[in-house]
Every structure is written in C-alpha cells, then in structure tokens.
Amino acid sequence: MDIPRFDPLHQCIAFGPLVVYLLILGMINLGRRPFLTTGARDTAVLGIAISGFIAAGPMELFLPEGAANLFGGWIWALLLTFYLLCLLLVVLLMRPRLVIYNVTFEQLRPALADVVSRLDDHARWAGESLSMPTLGLQLTVEPMAVMKSVQLVSAGPYQNIAGWRRLEEELAAELKQSRGLPNPYGVFLLSFALCLGGAVLFWMSRDPAGVTQALNDMLRR
C-alpha cells in the first residue's frame, strides 16, 4: 500500500473545496441580512467541503488496486459516488435543525417569538427551550457568539417534519425584514480562503509538469 504524495495536485484537490466553502461562508457573514438554512443542507455542504481531504487522503491510501486497474480513472467516480451516498445517509439520519447565520440570539428572539405565536397558540418557553405541541416540535435555541449564528436544534427523537418545514418557511419570511451589521469574522474567513487558494495556485504554477504527471498517475494513464 503506497502512501499518497502531498504534491501540488493533491494540495489543490484537498484544499480546493474547502477554499470555496470558506469564501461562501465569509460572504454570508459579511452580509447584512440573516441567512437561514437547514441542518441537513449545512452538513451536506460541509461534507462536500472536506471531500477533497477524503479524496487526497483515505481514498487514495486505501485505493483498491485491482479495481483501479480494471476501471482506470473511472474508479474515482465510483469512490466519490460512494462517499456522496454515505454523506446523504448521514444527512437523512440527522434530527431536524435550523441554522441562522449572521444573527445574534438577541436579534433572533423577537422574530422567532412572533413566528411561534402565529403558528402555535399553545407554545411554551422554558429558558432557551421551546415546545410547540400543535406543530409537534420540541427544540432548543443554541447561540454561537463567535460565528454570530444561532441553531434551533430538535430536542427528542419524536419530531414532526412538516412542522419543521412550516417553521423554516415562516421564520425565513420574517427574517427578510431584518437588517444587522456585518460579522467581522467574515473578513477572517475571506482572507484565510484567499491566502490558502493563492498558495495552492502558486505551488501548482511552479511545477506544471509534476502536476500533469501526478494527475496521470491518479487516473492510471
């Protein structure tokens, strides 16, 4: 079993998706509007962001040589498809969750309270926990001060998926009216992503022949 080389091509494969992820996350944090997404989408995007490390590391390290000789470069399509299917399984097994970026708990709570009062007259708060029996929801509010984001995380295994979708739609509509200050953390994310991407491109430009050879080796040409 050969240990994969961490040449410029492998650096690009490993860090490329992560750079794109950090750029998107940085732009979201620098926006003035809150950005709401589901936990499933958030996890799926994160899984894609680290897919480069999986491909340049474990996939190549444990690459089945027999299958590689049989399928050639198509072995990578099969392996990446398998990884995406595993990621999809993880996402489908997750409990419902909503993630709101670029907002503090103090900014979110009035909007969330208005939505809750409209959707469920029997809703009850207990600290940072919320029960909405009419919609079949039980959740906790988990703020993340550093990221300037808030998560609404399901509490307990018995949840009404249709109720979560209704809460997502109503809360997204309510937050469209909200405005806030950009999160300075976004500047760090963008700067780090640009520096990382620039470094990878620099190392690739220094040895184009080596990059071509490494690509041919990966594709079994």
Domain boundaries, the chain: 1-95+181-221, 103-179
Whether residue 194 is predicted with pLDDT greater than 70 in this model: the reply is yes
What are the pLDDT digits (tens) for 58-115? 887 777 777 777 777 788 888 899 999 999 999 999 999 999 999 988 889 899 999 9
d(CA 96, CA 38): 8
> How many residues can be counted in the chain?
221
What is the mean predicted confidence (pLDDT) over 124-130?
90
Mean pLDDT value across residues 180-202: 90
Q: Is 169 left (phi over 0), alpha (psi -120 to 50) or beta?
A: alpha
Q: Summarize pLDDT for 53-64 with one digit per residue, the tens.
A: 998 888 877 777
Residues 6 or more apart from 118 whose CB is under 8 A from it?
170
C-alpha R_g of the chain: 22
Q: In what order do the strands lie in the sheet with 129-132?
A: 35-38, 97-101, 149-154, 137-144, 129-132, 124-126
Asked if residue 14 lies in contact with residue 56, where contact means CB atoms within 8 angstroms, the answer is yes
Mean pLDDT of 192-200: 93
Sign of CA dihedral 66, 72, 74, 80: positive
If one compares 218 and 134, the residue with the highest pLDDT of the two is 134
CA distance 191 to 61: 31
CA 33 – CA 175 distance, rounded (Å): 8
Q: What's this model's pTM, rounded to 2 decimal places?
A: 0.85
How far, in Å, are 21, 49, 102, 137, 193 from residue 30 at the CA level?
A: 14, 20, 8, 31, 14
